[in-house]
């Protein structure tokens, strides 16, 4: 990773931190390192006693390693959230490394609690999103190394590798828990199943096709 890309990633994080409070609660202390084993359930995670906090609670090592892309989509996510860095708790930030083999993709999905900035570190990828009703306008862009693209909060979007060879990008979120609802999995892989007659009518498909999709997911 060259210095230009490191700087662009840092700037993306800094920019998102300034608007993060629009989505996550504003912290009332310098930090709130997450107590990952507490059974208390709140909006976020409870804090460790600051006297027990260590530098490692603000640290993660691993983004230099590629994720496992041996799956049908040919893509992988290496998340860096509160589970990986407890010190992110209440700060309204999360990032992830995204790896794609040639032709790899992430299917249509949305993040209900956070906007997303994509920064390409290697390769070439297409990012696209669709606005909400009534316009359903489609925006897309092919990104090259060093390019940045913003996906607004809650909008359905996708990413795919459109270049020769692998692609690596960093996704930055202005929420410590942006959520991820993958459209095909949500509709055809729910537990229990959504009524297949209803899905067939909604997507103008025959019932047998819907049931095959439900079995697949």
Q: pLDDT (tens digit, 9 = 90+) per residue, 60-113?
A: 999 999 999 999 999 999 999 999 999 999 999 999 999 999 999 999 999 999
Distance, CA of 155 to CA of 176 (rounded, Å): 18
Binding residues for oxalate: 111, 116
Binding residues for Mn(2+): 109, 111, 116, 157
> In Å, what is the CA distance from 160 to each residue of 47, 80, 154?
38, 21, 19
* CATH numbers and ranges of domains, the chain: 2-179 (2.60.120.10), 180-217 (no CATH)
pLDDT confidence of residue 19: 47
Tell me the average pLDDT of the chain: 91
Binding residues: 109, 111, 116, 157
pTM: 0.85
Give residue 21's pLDDT band: very low, low, confident or very high (50, 70, 90).
very low
Mean pLDDT of 200-214: 96
pLDDT confidence of residue 16: 53
| DSSP alpha helix (H) spans, the chain | 3-19, 183-188, 196-202, 207-216
Distance, CA of 217 to CA of 214 (rounded, Å): 5
What are the tens digits of pLDDT across the range 122-163? Answer: 999 999 999 999 999 999 999 999 999 999 999 999 999 999
Residue whose C-alpha is closest to residue 178's, from 114, 84, 118: 114
Which runs of E-coded beta strand occur in the chain? 75-80, 94-100, 105-110, 116-122, 125-130, 138-143, 148-151, 156-161, 167-173, 181-182
pLDDT for residue 20 is more than 60: no
Answer yes or no: are the C-beta atoms of 89 and 35 closer than 8 Å. no
pLDDT confidence of residue 71: 97
Which burial class, exposed, middle or buried, applies to 6 when counting CB atoms under 10 A from its CB (0-12, 13-18, 19+)? exposed
Q: What is the sign of the dihedral through the CA atoms of 16, 22, 27 and 28?
A: positive
Residue whose C-alpha is closest to residue 175's, from 62, 52, 28, 25: 25
| Lookup: tokens for 111 | 């993040």
Answer yes or no: are the C-beta atoms of 67 and 80 closer than 8 Å. no
């Amino acid at each position: 990773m060259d210095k230009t890309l490191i700087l662009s990633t840092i700037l993306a994080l800094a920019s998102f931190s300034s608007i993060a409070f629009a989505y996550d609660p504003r912290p009332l202390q310098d930090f709130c390192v997450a107590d990952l084993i507490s059974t208390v359930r709140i909006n976020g995670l409870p804090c460790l006693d600051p006297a027990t906090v260590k530098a490692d609670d603000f640290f993660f090592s691993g983004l230099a390693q590629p994720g496992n892309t041996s799956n049908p989509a040919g893509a992988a996510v290496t998340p860096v959230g509160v589970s990986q860095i407890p010190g992110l708790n209440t700060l309204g930030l999360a990032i992830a490394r995204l790896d794609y083999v040639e032709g790899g993709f992430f299917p249509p999905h949305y993040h209900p609690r956070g906007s997303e900035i994509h920064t390409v570190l290697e390769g070439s990828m297409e990012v696209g999103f669709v606005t909400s009703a009534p316009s359903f306008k489609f925006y897309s862009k092919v990104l090259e190394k060093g390019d940045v693209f913003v996906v607004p909060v809650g909008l359905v979007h996708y990413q795919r590798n459109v270049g020769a060879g692998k692609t690596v990008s960093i996704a930055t979120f202005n929420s410590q828990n942006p959520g991820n609802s993958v459209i095909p999995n949500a509709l055809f892989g729910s537990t229990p199943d959504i009524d297949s007659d209803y899905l067939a009518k909604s997507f103008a498909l025959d019932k047998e096709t819907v049931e095959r999709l439900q079995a697949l997911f």
